[in-house]
Amino acid sequence: MKHSILTRINFTDLTLLDQYLKVTKKVLIPALKSQTNKNFDLIVITNPEIVDLLRSELDYPFTAVYGNGQCYSYLLDNKINIQTRHDCDDYMSPDYVQKIQETYLITHKKYDKFIIQAQPTQLIYQTGEEKSLSPYSSRRCSMFLSLCQTNVINHVFERKHGQMYEIASNVITLPTGYTKWVIHGKNQSLLKKK
């Protein structure tokens, strides 16, 4: 079993990159370091212009890939059975990787391909206020998901997160507490909706 956590840090706007890196260094990097299960690697989808900056700023080892095509090749070539997508500015609990891998080991004998998704809460970065979110389902997948495959033929960014059930129809949902969608005022996903 091979497990990779994939995140995208692919900004051309250096001011926006700096703002995201501040949150990444306070939220994601400590979360990765605190994982009780260290049997995973980090893949960053980025661009060659900023990879050296990321290596100097992020106090965590990662494999850099450039674009979805190179990411897919890496995942396929290395037969990454568990592909966890996680935004660079979001939180994971210290036992998140452990829970994903436990669920994989129980489920992969039943299904060749499936999704493990986490039901997040929303965390306001500036105040620490936490809110519940509408429940995700097997037909509206969470942004916090792992594509699991015995035979690796797909990749976790092949569809938007909400449509990942089109690739793997069997969806297991973890309860709240494992992930938090961090709202910090510069979230690109929210700005695109406006």
pTM reported for the whole predicted model: 0.93
Q: Where are the beta strands (DSSP E) in the chain?
A: 3-8, 41-46, 63-66, 82-85, 91-92, 113-118, 121-124, 130-132, 145-149, 171-174, 179-183
Q: Supply the pLDDT for residue 187.
A: 57
100 touches 116 (CB < 8 A): yes
What are the tens digits of pLDDT across the range 72-104?
A: 999 999 999 999 999 999 999 999 999 999 999
What are the tens digits of pLDDT across the range 110-141?
A: 999 999 999 999 998 888 899 999 999 888 88
State yes or no: pLDDT of 66 exceeds 90. Answer: yes
Q: Residue 107 gets which letter from DSSP?
A: H
